[in-house]
Amino acid sequence: MSASGPTERSILVSVPNAPGIENRLKPLGLDVLAAWKDRVYIVAGDADLRSLENAALSFRPELGRTLSPGSVAAASGGLNGAYHTYKELEADLLALQQKYPAIAKVFVLGESLEGRRIYALKISDNVEREEAQAQVLILGCHHAREWISVEVPFLWGKYLAENYATNPEVKRLVDRSEVWIVPLVNPDGLEYTIHAYRYWRKNRRDNGGGQFGVDLNRNYEYKWGLDAVGSSADPSSAIYRGAAPFSEPETRAVRDLFLKKDFRALVSYHSFSQVILYPWSYTDLPSDRDAELRDIAVEMSDRIKAVNGRLYKPGQSGKDLYLSNGDTTDWTFGLSGIPSYTIELPPIDELLGGFFNREEDIAPIFQENLPALIYLLDRTVQNYRPSLQNPFDLRDFLFRSRRTGAILN
């Protein structure tokens, strides 16, 4: 996409959903919204329209078109209804900390380009201390228009805090882990989708020449800028990777948290497609731990389906969805080898709502994802072994070893 909003000459267009169209569109770096019935819908700016013309792809404007008639409920609580704004999320995170101070603590990881704070919520017993425990990281809203990807991580933290005192399973998991949740990686972009342009995807980096935004999920270091298919060097593109790896304060905030901790599993929430994806994203070739990653994804998929009957199809990202480079899960998996997943939340296609989930869909989507999150956290706890690379783990290892006589003074 070559523009930051309607005033910057971006329009909705469609091309025929003909055989082989996906392969023809992939190299163009377009902001493809969805394939619906016999058309593929694209948010396009001037440069994108020229790309379509140069590729001999016939397109038509879809001005004023609503892709899913009747599927989007009117907002009942402001511009974005039951979905969080930046300030509402800030207030709700701080309220959790105030109500459950023993197990919930809010951290400021950094600030966005426009000066909004990037918050992390830590849930753990002895929340003020750093302990040698299983650490899990949950991320939301790299892409601004994916409002539901804020809600699921936030509700996960809220669920753990509210049920710690009464649910033995929750207490056991929280007592043996540190759950870190960053529900809003891209606060500037989110606010822009609320107040200016609902389809906006990137952050709000001013790239000059009337072009705005970096795709934060193409700005991580691993295989950054590998090719022009999985990301773009063109600032007008929807998948513009930025000037350098971690050029954006939002991705640096995630990076710095990750490097300070010893995370053993990660989920990055997105929408929409209803899939559970694992590395690699930069290639369609499998990693050397493909079987393990797939087994975990299948188990999460099965647990989700058991709730509402919805299938989140598991698969390798670069093979089963599309190629991308510089993305979050490739970086965390490539750096530390931990199970790393992108979960694309419902719906499965534009006909059922696309980025426009109804407000009443928030709770069911969280509830169906809850068993998968519990499973992943429990698996991480059960498989946790201290790493000698972590000073807190080393201290714990030495302490326990002396108690058992394994190390002699």
**Can you say whether the dihedral through the CA atoms of 383, 370, 346, 272 is positive or negative?**
negative
Contact 336, 263 (CB under 8 A): yes
Q: Which residues contact 17 (CB under 8 A, 6 or more apart)?
A: 35, 36, 37, 38, 39, 40
Q: How is residue 264 written in tokens? A: 């053993």
Tell me how many degrees the CA angle 319-11-14 measures, rounded to the nearest 5: 50
Residue labelled with tokens 């400021």: 108
Tell me how many degrees the CA angle 132-137-143 measures, rounded to the nearest 5: 165
Q: Which residues contact 203 (CB under 8 A, 6 or more apart)?
A: 112, 113, 144, 186, 188, 189, 213, 214, 216, 248, 250
Q: Where are the beta strands (DSSP E) in 287-401?
A: 313-316, 340-345
Q: How far apart are CA 225 and CA 202, in angstroms?
A: 17
Q: How far apart are CA 134 and CA 179, in angstroms?
A: 8
Question: Which residues have a catalytic role annotated?
Answer: 344
Q: How is residue 53 written in tokens? A: 């013309």
Q: Which of 263, 255, 268, 259 minimizes the C-alpha distance to 118?
A: 255
Q: How is residue 331 written in tokens? A: 């970086």
